[in-house]
Amino acid sequence: MSDSFETLVRLQALLAERKSADAATSYVAKLYKKGDRKIAQKVGEEAVEIAMAVAMDDQVGVVNEGADLLFHLMVLLEARGLSLADIAGELARREGLSGLAEKASRGDG
């Protein structure tokens, strides 16, 4: 598991570096140049694609689309000045709470 975590740490550092890369030669720099709304749209597309893979019972597709979704989410977080650590912190805050109670506290209930 720690190797997998280290992969995410390395990816996060690379995404930060790509903010200053040339958009003509870097997909990530091109996404940053388009702005966080375009990146958010890409996150939405990837979320739909993983849902479709689940609906088709395509395990390989779920893994591939899950990787795409996480990648684009990390790009979006970086674009907003956030990181996986911010997400982990929120999950830690919710730990031990009933999902129903937590949703109700946000008004999502």
Residue 13: partners with Cβ closer than 8 Å, 6 or more residues away: none
In a domain, 84, yes or no: yes
State the pLDDT at residue 3.
84
Cα 4 vs. chain centroid, distance in angstroms? Answer: 15
State the pLDDT at residue 1.
55
- Considering its fold, how many domains does the chain have in total? 1
State the pLDDT at residue 5.
86
CA distance 60 to 63: 5
Parent domain of 86 = 2-94
State the pLDDT at residue 108.
63
User: What pLDDT tens digit does each residue of the chain (109 aa) get?
Assistant: 568 889 999 999 999 999 999 999 999 999 999 999 999 999 999 999 999 999 999 999 999 999 999 999 999 999 999 999 999 999 998 888 776 776 777 776 5
Own/partner contacts of 58-64, CB < 8 Å, gap of 24 or more, are: none
Q: In this structure, what token pair is assigned to residue 17?
A: 């570096």
Give the CATH number of the domain where residue 72 resides.
1.10.287.1080
CA distance 25 to 2: 31
In a domain, 104, yes or no: no
Q: What is the pTM of this model?
A: 0.87
Give the 3-state secondary structure percentages of the chain, helix then strand then coil, rounded to 5: 80, 0, 20
